[in-house]
Amino acid sequence: MASGIFAILDDIAMLMDDVALASKVATKKTAGILGDDLAVNANKATGFVSSRELPVLWSITKGSFLNKLIIVPIALLLNYFFPEVIKWILVLGGLYLAFEGVEKIFHWLFHRNDEHLEIEKVLAENPEEEEKSKIRSAISTDFILSVEIVIIALGTVLEQSLAVQVITVAIVSLIATVGVYGIVALIVRMDDFGFQLIKKSNGKEIWNTIGNAMVKALPVIIKILSFVGTIALILVAGGIFAHNIEMIHHFTDHHLSQIPSILSEALLGVVGGLIAFCVIFLGKKIYAAFNS
- pLDDT tens digits for range 88-137: 887 888 888 888 888 888 888 876 655 554 444 544 556 677 777 777 87
pTM: 0.70
Q: How many domains does the chain have?
A: 1
Half-sphere exposure of 278 (CA within 13 A, CB side): 6
| Alpha carbons 232 and 84: distance in angstroms, whole number | 26
245 alpha carbon, distance to own chain's centre: 22
Query: Quick one: 35 exposed, middle or buried, by C-beta within 10 A (0-12, 13-18, 19+)?
Result: buried
* Structural domain span for residue 62: 2-290
pLDDT classification of 244: cutoffs 50, 70, 90: confident
Report in angstroms the alpha-carbon separations of 131 from 65, 84, 176: 19, 40, 23
| Alpha carbons 287 and 102: distance in angstroms, whole number | 22
- pLDDT tens digits for range 25-69: 565 666 666 666 666 666 666 656 666 777 877 888 888 889 888
